[in-house]
Chain A
Amino acid sequence: KNQVEQSPQSLIILEGKNCTLQCNYTVSPFSNLRWYKQDTGRGPVSLTIMTFSENTKSNGRYTATLDADTKQSSLHITASQLSDSASYICVVDSYNTDKLIFGTGTRLQVFP
């Protein structure tokens, strides 16, 4: 069964600190992997999209990495801000079914 699992489920950090969120997937083959940020009460917003051949992609203070061999991706947030408090969702596009498979997300809280 194709799955996307994220860890940790929730995370609390202090403003200014860095953090790394993990995404492990079993979807194979896949065409791209995405990270979304979802603020409470709002729809998800795309942060990065990486094809299977890309290893890293950045969007400001957000850097996503991808290891297609181990089927792992991570999202690194640098110098966190209060506005980073949100859920971060990893999504894998299944090449065979052309469906987007969503992880259950990591809830990040940044405190001053």
Chain B
Amino acid sequence: KAGVTQTPRYLIKTRGQQVTLSCSPISGHRSVSWYQQTPGQGLQFLFEYFSETQRNKGNFPGRFSGRQFSNSRSEMNVSTLELGDSALYLCASSSRLAGADTQYFGPGTRLTVL
């Protein structure tokens, strides 16, 4: 069974630009959660989607948005990039809501904002 995949793996952008990251969950999983990981802050929850609906949201500004498609694939968008957005962005999938089930993480997308 294929694991969680994320594309691209690495990305370099400049301030003010926008970026879209993609996550394909494990087949059959309906929940996709997104996290930002930085050395100082650890893993910070962004949002969770389940069956195309946002079920939970962390404390991030509106520049961070996401969506989930009918095939459970999810995208995360960050507009007007800032230097502080440089981080590893991880997505995780689970068959039920993340709080009720084991999450499986992808390898992450390393975003660098110059």
Q: How far is the CB of A29 from chain B (nearest CB, A)?
A: 12
Q: Is the CB of B42 within 8 A of A31?
A: no
**A68-112 near B? 1/0 per residue, CB < 8 Å:** 000000000000000000000100011001111111110000000
* A residues less than 8 Å from B41 (CB atoms): 104
Nearest A residue (CB) for B41: A104
Q: How far is the CB of B109 from chain A (nearest CB, A)?
A: 11
Q: How far is the CB of B24 from chain A (nearest CB, A)?
A: 13
* A residues less than 8 Å from B42 (CB atoms): 89, 102-105
Q: In this assembly, does A45 line the interface, its C-beta being within 8 Å of a C-beta of chain B?
A: yes
Q: How far is the CB of B59 from chain A (nearest CB, A)?
A: 10
Interface residues of A in 2-61 (CB under 8 A from B): 31-32, 41-46, 49
Chain A contact residue count (CB 8 A cutoff): 21
Q: In this assembly, does B102 line the interface, its C-beta being within 8 Å of a C-beta of chain A?
A: yes
Q: Which of B13-21, B61-69, B73-81, B90-98 touches A?
A: B90-98
Q: How far is the CB of B102 from chain A (nearest CB, A)?
A: 5
Query: Could you say which of B58, B98, B102, B107 contacts A42, with CB atoms under 8 Å apart?
Result: B107
Whole-angstrom CA separation of A105 from B105 in the bound complex? 16
Would you list 26 pairs from A and B whose C-beta atoms are within 8 A, ordered by A residue?
A: A32-B99, A41-B107, A42-B107, A42-B108, A43-B90, A43-B108, A44-B43, A45-B105, A46-B103, A46-B104, A49-B102, A89-B43, A97-B56, A98-B99, A99-B58, A99-B99, A100-B33, A100-B98, A100-B99, A100-B103, A101-B45, A102-B44, A103-B42, A104-B41, A104-B42, A105-B42
**Chain B residues engaging chain A, CB cutoff 8 angstroms:** 4, 33, 35, 41-45, 55-56, 58, 90, 92, 97-100, 102-108
The 10 closest A-B pairs by CB, nearest first: A43-B105, A104-B42, A102-B43, A93-B99, A98-B99, A44-B105, A46-B102, A43-B90, A43-B106, A43-B107
Known: A31-B100, A98-B97, A99-B56. 20 other contacts (CB 8 A): A32-B99, A43-B90, A44-B90, A44-B92, A44-B105, A45-B105, A46-B103, A89-B42, A89-B43, A94-B99, A98-B56, A98-B99, A99-B99, A101-B45, A102-B35, A102-B43, A102-B45, A103-B42, A104-B41, A104-B42
